[in-house]
């Protein structure tokens, strides 16, 4: 919601006072491009990709900078990433992946759940092939996917299948000999989102994060959005403050 007078105030600050305005949001369902378009549609005409800091963007940059794991691809994450989130979060993560790497997760939005099959999916090919893959539509295993990180934001397609697969990935180093520990990145931990004129409290990303914490037994390695430090640290770094 953009309150009355905000758009005019922002425009005045930029034009009359030459103040640089930056937009910070914990909304990880939108890419920065999508967020900028949404802000502009609500009267914030100066919104553009370069001045938006979202928890999705900060989470992706954490992968591409703090967790960059191959000197041959600096500032790129050279593993595939399991994304619990919308297409907007996938878009931001794809920007920081090394060539040939991909995101995975949207493929499970409509897949019927079978706990026995999921539990054997590291060794058996029970998962749908990644979108755009050259597998000819054949199923894949979790081992085939070569996942190096799980990143989670609010996911409109959240289901028990995604929860189970994400949890297994976060446990793999304890359950399977020789498997490395997968990074666990949370965009934000906002537990609720007020919706509707009555202000109903509906699940936010934090509610989904807490369920993954409960099942996997792991806390996120980093929480990127407000009020945590990574977002403001990135702002300071990018703006040279």
Question: pLDDT, tens digit, for every residue of 114-131?
Answer: 999 999 999 999 999 998
Q: At 135, is the pLDDT very low, low, confident or very high (cuts 50, 70, 90)?
A: low
Beta strand 23-25 with 200-203 is unpaired
pTM above 0.85, yes or no: yes
Q: What percent of the chain has pLDDT over 90?
A: 87
Beta strand 192-195 with 200-203 is antiparallel
- Give the pair of three-digit tokens for residue 127: 């998962």
Please report where in the chains the tokens 């060539």 appear, as a residue.
99
The CA distances from residue 75 to 65, 96, 99, 111, in Å, are 5, 7, 12, 34
- Give the pair of three-digit tokens for residue 28: 């990880």
pLDDT score recorded for residue 136 = 67
Question: pLDDT, tens digit, for every residue of 17-39?
Answer: 999 999 999 999 999 999 999 99
- Give the pair of three-digit tokens for residue 212: 């993954």
Mean pLDDT (the chain) is: 94
Per the CB < 8 A criterion, the answer to whether 158 and 210 are in contact is no
Cα–Cα nearest to 170, from 232, 216, 134: 216
Beta-bridge partners for 127: 140
DSSP 145-160: H-EEEEEE---TT--H
Residue 169 has pLDDT above 90, yes or no: yes
Spell out a b/e string for 134-163, using b for 16 or more CB atoms within 10 Å of the CB, else e: eeeeeebebebbebbbbbbbbbeebeebbb
């Amino acid at each position: 919601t953009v309150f009355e007078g905000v758009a005019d105030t922002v425009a005045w600050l930029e034009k009359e006072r030459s103040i640089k305005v930056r937009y910070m949001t914990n909304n990880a369902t939108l890419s920065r491009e999508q967020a900028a378009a949404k802000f502009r549609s609500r009267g914030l005409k100066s919104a553009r990709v370069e001045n938006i800091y979202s928890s999705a963007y900060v989470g992706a940059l954490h992968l591409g900078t703090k967790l960059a794991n191959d000197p041959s691809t600096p500032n790129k994450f050279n593993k595939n990433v399991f994304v619990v989130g919308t297409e907007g979060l996938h878009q931001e993560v794809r920007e920081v992946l090394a060539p040939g790497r991909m995101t995975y997760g949207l493929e499970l939005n409509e897949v019927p759940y079978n706990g026995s099959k999921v539990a054997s999916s590291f060794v058996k090919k029970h998962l749908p092939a990644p979108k755009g893959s050259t597998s000819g539509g054949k199923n894949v295993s979790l081992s085939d996917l070569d996942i190096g990180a799980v990143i989670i934001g609010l996911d409109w397609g959240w289901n028990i299948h995604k929860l189970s697969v994400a949890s297994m990935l976060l446990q793999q180093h304890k359950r399977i000999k020789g498997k490395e520990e997968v990074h666990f990145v949370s965009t934000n931990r906002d537990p609720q989102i007020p919706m509707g004129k009555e202000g109903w409290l509906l699940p936010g990303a934090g509610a989904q994060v807490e369920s993954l914490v409960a099942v996997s037994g792991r806390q996120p390695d980093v929480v990127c959005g407000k009020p945590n430090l990574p977002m403001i640290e990135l702002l300071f770094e990018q703006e040279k403050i």
